[in-house]
Amino acid sequence: MHGSSGSKFENKPLPKLIIQIPCYNEAETLAVALNDLPRTVAGFDSVEWLIIDDGSSDATARVAEENGVDHVIRHTSNRGLAYAFMTGIEACLARGADVIVNTDADNQYNAADLPALTRPVLEGRADMVIGARPISEIEHFSPLKKLLQKLGSWVVRVSSGTDVQDAPSGFRAISRNAAQRLIVFNNYTYTLETIIQAGRKNMRVVSVPIRVNGDLRPSRLVKSIPSYLKRSIFTIVRIFVIYQPARFFGAVAAVLFGLGFLLGLRFLYFYLVDASSGHVQSVVLAGVLMSMGFQALLVAFLADVIAANRKLLEDIRYTQRAAQPPSGMSSAVETSDREA
């Protein structure tokens, strides 16, 4: 990635930082997380806090207001983490954020590392910064979860062309320009998909080491290992299908066509050796597999065309978004802002 020689905010008024926290029934832990958040960060003229209450049935919104949160965005129903993340991004952009930091309500990430997280954006070296946790050292992560975390990061590196060390990390800093380009298709989580989008849009994505705090509650995303495994595999496959369609369906086509070709060679071998009329099943199966391989190849071409069309639509969406930032929320969202 190419970096700039100085801060992108040089010779300009100091920028605004908004720290957003997606929440769902976080009344018990939110106060702890907010207590650790800074009100001043080097390089910023102002620091504001924004909570996205994703249809909580507890006192999450009240706890947020009691602890001095500047902006509380409320979904009228539970929409999921990815949707809450994007609601927060829209709200931060509408409120003039120059840099957005996303963190979790369970206080997993050490807020003291927030200046290190935002520094690459302020210095113009990055559009998105991902906090890299010491995965191998986190005691409450099971061996399987650690493996899946590393696998997910590897998939993201391959798909995005970035060198992100901890792709599932939700502790990240995003420049305004980068935030305007993001859109999440996945309903489960935003972490992997946003990095892949950033990499494929030639944004500068870097990782910085961060520390973690003790475990306050069980993970909401990992309700059980089988469920987490299933969703993680589905997410990884979906990422390849959406962002690498030609490669994904091309690989499927190659496997099917290759198996059919080998079966065809098998029939030919036996036909030439013993001149028998047997092994007809190999011919039939070879024909079926090679036909399926050809169809998968056609799908690869069509998917690549659709992906190109999606990119054009994303570019149009970005242009409109940058020219006219959103000034309100949808009917599924309620907002409240504290007086300055």
Residue 150 and residue 277 in one domain: no
Sign of the CA dihedral running 75, 78, 81, 82: negative
**Per-residue pLDDT tens over the stretch 168-179:** 899 999 999 999
Last residue of a domain, one of 243, 268, 286: 243
Which CATH number does the domain housing residue 53 bear? Answer: 3.90.550.10
Are residues 187 and 42 part of one domain? yes
The answer on 188 and 116 residing in a single domain is yes
pLDDT of residue 275: 63
21 with 153, same domain: the answer is yes
How many helices and strands in the chain, by DSSP H and E?
A: 10, 8
- Rounded CA gap, 156 and 173, in Å? 18
Distances (CA, A) of 71 to 64, 81, 134, 169, 281: 9, 18, 31, 24, 67
User: 100 pLDDT exceeds 60?
Assistant: yes
134 falls in which pLDDT band (50, 70, 90)? Answer: confident
Domain span holding position 68: 16-243
pLDDT: which is higher, 232 or 214: 214
Q: To the nearest whole percent, how much of the chain has pLDDT over 70?
A: 86
pLDDT score recorded for residue 240: 76
Same domain, 91 and 200: yes
Residue-level pLDDT at 13: 61
Q: Worst-scoring range by mean pLDDT, 49-53, 90-94, 328-332?
A: 328-332
Which of 205, 224, 243 delimits the end of a domain?
243
Q: Which residue has the tokens 């965005």?
A: 73
| pLDDT higher than 50, residue 2 | no
- Confidence label for 4 from pLDDT (cuts 50, 70 and 90): very low
Q: Does the residue 3 lie in any domain?
A: no
284-336 confidence digits (pLDDT tens): 899 999 999 999 999 999 988 888 887 788 778 778 777 765 454 544 566 66
Residue 11 lies in a domain: no
* C-alpha separations of 105 from 24, 96, 162, 174, 226 in Å: 9, 23, 27, 18, 24
Q: Taking a C-beta distance cutoff of 8 angstroms, is the pair 112, 103 a contact? A: no
Other CB atoms within 10 A of residue 109 CB: 25
122 plus 265 within the same structural domain: no
Tally the domains of the chain.
2
Q: How many CB atoms lie within 10 A of CB 227?
A: 11
Among candidate residues 216, 243, 270, the one where a domain is terminated: 243
Q: What is the predicted pLDDT for the residue at 272?
A: 79
Q: How many CB atoms lie within 10 A of CB 209?
A: 12
**DSSP notation for 194-213:** HHHHHHHTT--EEEEE--B-
| Confidence check: pLDDT of 225 > 70 | no
Helix runs in 141-279, H state only: 143-160, 176-181, 191-200, 225-243, 245-274
Identity of the highest mean pLDDT range in 2-6, 137-141, 278-282, 307-311: 307-311
Looking at the domain assignment, is residue 5 inside a domain? no
List own/partner pairs for 252-258 with CB under 8 A and 24 or more apart.
Answer: 252/293, 252/296, 252/300, 253/293, 253/294, 253/295, 253/296, 253/297, 253/299, 253/300, 254/293, 255/293, 256/289, 256/290, 256/292, 256/293, 256/296, 257/289, 257/290, 257/293, 257/294, 257/297, 258/293
Average pLDDT in the chain: 84
Running DSSP on this structure, what letter comes out for residue 109?
B
pLDDT of the residue at 127: 96
Q: How, if at all, do strands 205-209 and 46-54 pair?
A: unpaired
- Residue 264 exposed, middle or buried by CB count within 10 Å (0-12, 13-18, 19+): middle
**Is residue 278's pLDDT more than 80?**
no
Amino acid identity for residue 179 in this structure: A
Same domain, 117 and 207: yes
Check residues 7 and 162 and name the one with the higher pLDDT.
162
Residue corresponding to tokens 């907010």: 34
Pick from 67-81, 266-280, 281-295: least confident:
266-280
Please, which pLDDT band fits residue 136 given cuts at 50, 70 and 90?
confident
Q: Which residue has the higher pLDDT, 56 or 266?
A: 56
Task: Band the pLDDT of 139: cuts 50, 70, 90.
Answer: confident
Predicted local distance difference test score (pLDDT) of residue 5: 42
